[in-house]
Every structure is written in C-alpha cells, then in structure tokens.
Structure 1
Amino acid sequence: MGAAVLAVGLPAANAAPVRRQEPPSGTYRVDLHAHFLPPDYRAALLEHGHITIGGYPTPTWSPEDALGFMDYYGIQAQALSISDPGVTFLHGKEAEDMARYCNSYAAGLFTSHARRFGAFAVLPMPDVLASITEAIYALDTLRLDGVVLLSAYDGIYLGDPRFEPLMMTLNQRKAFVFVHPAAIPAGAKPDLPLPDFLEEFTFDTTRAATMMMVTGMTQRYPDIRFQLAHAGGTVPFLSHRISVASQTVLGDLWPAGTPKPSVLDMKNQISRFYYDTALSGSAAAMASVLAVTSSDHIVFGSDWPFSAATLPQSGSTDPAPGLSDVFDADQRMDIEHRNPLRQLPRLAEAVGG
C-alpha cells in the first residue's frame, strides 16, 4: 500500500501534502453510477412501504431534474440504473411488468435525449428464467447498455449456482454488469442506529464480489465486465485477506468440483473488476483501488439523486473534488470520460465521444 500511495502521488508519512490539481473544464463527465425512478416505479415503491432506500428518503426524479444536475456538474451523459430494491418488492408478472416498464422508459430517453442518457436494465430477479427473457429483450431489442444486478436476492449472493443460466446469457453478450448493493434484512444485521447506505452497502458489495470469485463465477464468465459500486466496497482494502483464504485451513475444506483459487489468480480477478467513484472520491479510497488495479478500471459515478446531500455545497461545480487530490487533469479525463465510454459502445456512439 505504501508503494501504491507514493506511486499515485499521495502524501506518505512525514511527507509534504500534495497540491490539489485542477480538474478538466467543461461538460465531459460520463456517469456510470446514476439512478432513476420513473413515475410508476416510484409510486409502487411508496405504495409498498419503501419510503426510504437504504435509510435514505426515497427521492424524486425526472429527466428535467437529471439534466439540470448534469449541466451544473459538467456531466455529459448518465448511464441510469434502478437502485435497491430493484423490483424485488413485487412478484411474478408484476415484477416482470415493472422491469419491462423501467427498461422501456429508459430506452425512450435514448430518443428524447439521445446524447445524454444510457441505461442498465433492471431484471425481475430472483426469477432467473424471467430475468433471462428480460435481459435478452433489454440488450438485444431495446439496446440498453448493460444490466444492473443487486449484490444479493433473498439472502442469496451473486456467485450462487442458481444464477448460472443468467450469467451464461450475459457472458454470451459480453455484457457490462453493474453490481449495486442491496439492503440486508433487519434480522440479519446488527441493530445499530446507522442507515444501510453508510456502511452496510459497502460490506454487501464486498460479499457479492468475494462470492463471485471464490465460486469461480468470474473465471467461468470472463466476457462479463463487472462494475462494483462505491470503489468496490471494501474489496480493495481486504484484497490480501481474500486472496490468502485458499492457502489457510479453508483450502482443505474447499467444495469438491469448485476451482480452488490461488493467491495470484485472486489478485488477477480483483484487478479485472471496474470500480466506480460514487461516494468514494477521496484519496484514501482511490489509493486502495489503485493498489489492486490500474486506473483504466476506475469509472466515474455520482450516485445521484441519492447523493444530493453529499455534493459540494459551496458553489463548486466539481461533483468529486477529492479526485484532484490523486489524479491530474488528464487522468481525471480518463476516469470521468474515456474509461466509461470504452465500456459502453452504444453510449459512446450516441454522445460522439
């Protein structure tokens, strides 16, 4: 970690503080962690008692509000996604219809605001067969830019073999998959007076990523590109502990027929994830990410509208000023513009970038 800190120009112990660098100017950012709440979806959330999401009051959203936010903070385009709880509060055909509604709504924005919006498809999980049908329609017909999956469904984490058929479908399409944390059921977490989005969301992202690696899912489906929310939760910080698991007594208990990862292989898998900057635009978070992967695997995320209260309030038009403690203008252009567009070719064509 010390070497990584010095490599990215962060202050080591007893070193002089690094001078804040100037970010690029203009409207150039491409936001891969941005949420939307279409009218019927938000109404259904409230009707089913979801007045908060992860402890944050369920926000309002409209294309006009999103464009106003984007214009103020220099965001050229957003890849929209449905946040937790997805459509899991509905069941059967209701869940399928709501997923189709949200995905069709997003596709409509490609026409009305062609250069400003992309989208990741929400799926009617945990129904795997229905989710395969919706993923095929959303990717092949609506031409959405990828899919969003929650870290877990009904307590079952990504990496579980029950999700294999869906992963096969996504791998065939070389899909970009945004992994977003899910709220943990009240009976499965400590009774602390803290909202889920503060800490629990980061831990759940870590659980999902770890399960995908130790079950071999990320090895079996190498053509899926996984983006981990919030700088990977705690994956970068825990990367060494995760990597050595198979070399401990756990290695003797590894399930038969499941590939037993090596330290080097686990490090490789961790380096292949994409990590977004949402609520993580700080020197500490970025140093951890840079210690496990290269800067071309970091993408910009705002987490708007859920992050509205955390954005700079002093008239700054930089939504993540902490990134300039780590990256110069050209590096920020990579992270906030070039890297996202490399992963989403349809959106890159639409914005002409």
Structure 2
Amino acid sequence: MVVPSFSRRRALGSAAAGVAALAAAPGFSPARAEAVPARRQPAPSGTYRIDLHAHVLPPDYRAALLAHGHFTIGGYPTPTWSPDEAIAFMDYYGIQAQALSVSDPGVSFLRGAEANDLARYCNDYAAQLIRTHPSRFGAFAVLPMPDIAASIDEAIHALDTLRLDGVVLLSAYDGVYLGDPRFEPLMIALNQRRAFVFVHPAAIPADAKPELPLPDFMEEFTFDTTRAATMMMVTGTTQRYPDIRFQLSHAGGTVPFLSHRISVASQTVLGELWPQDLPKPSILDIQHQISRFYFDTALSGFPAAMASVLAVTSRDHIVFGSDWPFSAATLPQTGDHDPAPGLSEIFDADQRMEVERHNPLRQLPRLAEAVNA
C-alpha cells in the first residue's frame, strides 16, 4: 500500500533528503565507535512504534492558517491532514500510535479571544480523535501563547479535563524564548502537573535572520531549538521545575554538538557578568541538565545525529518521531516499510524497540494504557 500524499515530491523535500543522506555518508566517525554496529542491523518487525513528533492540522485550524497567509510552515508547503491519512501512514510505517501536536506557528498568529478559541478548538478536536481512536492517537495541547494567563487556563483544561498527554510549546513567541521570566507562571502550572512538554522550533521573523535561499526547516529550526534549550538552562528554568519533562525536536537541534561550549560559558569572562539573581551554572550542572532532556529522532535518525545525542545522554532519553506530514516527501518508501532505516546503523533491534516504543510509552502513561489495553 502506498499512501497517496507520499508521492508529492517537492523540491524542498528533495533538498532535505539530500541533507539527510549526507548525515549517513560513508566515512562518518562517531564519538562512541563502540556503540555503532559494524553493519546495519535488522529493525524489529510489526506495528510497534510510538511517534512523539507528529503533527495535526484540524480543518478549521488549517483554514485559519491559509486565511492569514501561512501557505508554508518553515518553508514547507502547508500540508493537508486527515485521520484516515494519518492512520494509513502509521499502518504503512509500522507505527501503532502518534502523539499529535500543532506545529509552528501554533495559534500565535492570532490574539485575544480568537487565539483562545482556536486553541480550544484544536484541543477539543484532538480529545475527540482520541476518544474515537484511543489506541492510535495521543495529543499534546496547543496553548494560546504568548498570553500567559490564557495559556495557563488552557493547559489546566487540556491536562486535567481533556486528559491530553502533554503540551507543545514553541521555542519562542514574538522573539521571546522559553526560559524568559515572563513564562514563569506557566512553568509553575506545568511543573505542578508533572507535564510532558514538547518543544517545537519556531520560524524566526524575516527581519531577524540572514537572507539565505534556504527554508527554515533545514537549519534555522534546529538553531532555534538550541536557543530555547540553552535559555532554559542558563536562566535556571530546568532547575526550578524538575518535574517538567522537556522533549527537544530533531535530536535537540545543535545542543549535543555545542554541549561543551554551553557548559563552559560561565567559566569565561561571561561568568563575571552573570546576573546575581540567576544560578551560575557549572560545567557538570549543564551537562546534567542536557542529559535530562528527551531528544526525538524526527529528521535526525542517522548515525551523525544519534551518536551526538548518545554522547550527552543515555539511550532511554531518545524517543521516536516522524515529523509527519511535513516529512512526507523525505520518508523512504522501501520494501521493509522502515521510516528511519538510519537508526539501524547505530541501534540493534532491541535498542530500536527501546527508542521507538518503550521510551515514548514510559513518558505518556495514558497513551501507554490505551495501546496496551
């Protein structure tokens, strides 16, 4: 079976596929050579995967995006989405369930009551989808950010009443990154609920980034995830709210690669300028904080990315993500229906089962109960 939308080969998708191929090119020398099998190992069989980076575009939400000029997301043409397409995709690629989330720009292109109503619509839509297909879908709630008071109300409704599996936050809102003191009241509410928070990158405004002929999803998205993670660490957010579990998109952006540079910042001249009201992180502290993040495999299921993640955290902090439907043009269509064959270049079958199933289910107990019923 071939899902119809998979055949849409766009130029941008082909470019991303080329970048992904480079990550798996011969000659790659990982930091932990002993963790990489000598040759590709077989993947587990069956429909077992749990996808923690998958997107939903409810009908009215997609219509609102287009009405406000969002014809592309991160440089990728705004895709269509339906429950039937999602289930067909999952069946084709051996995915048992997806935890759905609204991608960039969330509902932040609206303000006030319009943003509140659209967030509530998306979350109610997701809750109904879970009721209809309890073993196939979970969801992370979208919040009407950057309105903190309204976002707290919506988070409480989504987590306590709708029983969604967590929330999705963008890396920044109006140029203000996660970790900023303005977000403290929301973090308090999420920490009280021991929430799972999926951090998704946001597009940088055109007047705040270099003019390059590259779509945001290729590089800028990874950089913005890095900025958000770094700000949450250096401002103490990840220390003050240890019961929030943060999932970083796309293998954490460049966090693993920059982990040492981030950790030594306070030991340089910057340490002399460190604000007195913020904890001054040490090298070991930053390394510990990085190790506590969860890193998904979306568009990153290759030795170069995974070896970097394994250098900063343990395997139980890696979770599977497909980034569908935005990744539709780059997913392999092979006889074994493996959505991330590059994972078998660094993980054996048991390890892939851990990354692609056990780790995600440990973080989302409601979904675990539903898929194991």
TM range (shorter): over 0.9
| Aligned equivalents of 2:349, 2:277: Cα separation in 1 | 48
2:256 alignment partner, SS class: coil
Partner residue of 2:109 out of 69, 89, 98: 89
2:14: which partner in 1?
Answer: none
Output one character per residue of 1:36-87: Cα deviation in whole Å (capped at 9) or x when no partner.
Answer: 0000000000000000000000000000000000000000000000000000
Q: Distance in 1 between matches of 2:40 and 2:360?
A: 24
Per the TM alignment, residue 316 of structure 1 is displaced from its structure 2 partner at its CA by: 4.0
Match of 1:15 in 2: none
Partner of 1:180: 200
Deviation string for 1:239-266 (max 9, x for gaps)? 0000000000000000111000000000
Letter in 2 for 1:73: Y
Identity %: 80
User: Which residue identity is paired with 2:111?
Assistant: H
Superposition RMSD in Å: 1.2
1:5 aligns with 2:5: no
Q: Tell me how far apart the structure 2 counterparts of residues 199 and 273 of structure 1 sit (CA, whole Å).
A: 20
Shift of 1:111: 1.2
**Residues 219-258 of structure 1 mapped to structure 2, 5 A cutoff:** 219-258=239-278
Once residues 270 and 64 of structure 2 are traced to their aligned partners in structure 1, the CA distance between those partners, rounded to angstroms, is 44
Letter in 1 for 2:317: H
How far off its partner does 1:315 sit? Answer: 3.8
TM-score when normalising by structure 2: 0.91
1:150 aligns with 2:145: no
Query: CA offsets, 1:129-164, max 9 Å, x none?
Result: 000000000000000000000000000000000000
Residue in 2 that maps onto 1:78? 98
1:50 counterpart (31, 52, 70)? 70
Task: Return 5+ residue gaps in structure 2 as ranges.
Answer: 1-27
CA deviations over 1:300-319 (Å, ceiling 9, x no partner): 00000000011003444000
1:104 maps to what in 2? 124
Deviations 1:150-184 (A, max 9, x none): 00000000000000000000000000000000000
**Hey, what's the Cα distance between the residues in 2 that align with 1:96 and 1:3?**
46
Counting only pairs closer than 5 Å after superposition, residues 105-124 of structure 1 correspond to structure 2 as 105-124=125-144
Give me the whole-angstrom Cα distance separating, in 2, the residues matched to 1:287 and 1:198: 20
The aligned counterpart of 1:14 is none
Q: Distance in 1 between matches of 2:39 and 2:230?
A: 36
CA contact (8 A) 1:80 1:117 kept: yes
1:130-209 alignment, distance < 5 Å: 130-209=150-229
SS of equivalent to 2:109: coil
Would you say the 8 A contact 2:30–2:303 is kept in 1? Answer: no
User: How far apart, in 2, do the equivalents of 1:315 and 1:217 lie?
Assistant: 45
Matched to 1:157, the amino acid is: Y
2:100 counterpart SS class = strand
1:296 is matched by which residue type in structure 2?
Answer: D
**Contact 2:30–2:304 (CA under 8 A) maintained in structure 1:** no
Q: Measure, in 1, the Cα distance between the counterparts of 2:261 and 2:215.
A: 27
1:331 to 345, 351, 356: 351
Could you say which residue in structure 2 is the equivalent of 1:345?
365
Provide structure 1 residue ranges, at least 5 long, that are not aligned to the other structure.
Answer: 11-17
> C-alpha deviations, 1:306-336, integer Å up to 9, x for none?
0001100344400000000000000000000
Distance 1:7 1:95 in 2: 49
Q: CA deviation at 1:3?
A: 8.1
Label 1:3 to 1:22 Cα distance change in 2 as closer, same or farther (>3 A): closer
Judge conservation of contact 1:4–1:290 (CA < 8 Å) in 2: no
CA distance in structure 2 between the aligned counterparts of 1:3 and 1:182, rounded to whole angstroms: 29
Kept in 2: contact 1:80–1:120 (CA 8 A): yes
| CA positional deviation for 1:9 | 2.1
* Distance in 2 (alpha carbons) for counterparts of 1:106 and 1:199: 30
Q: TM-score, normalised by structure 1?
A: 0.97
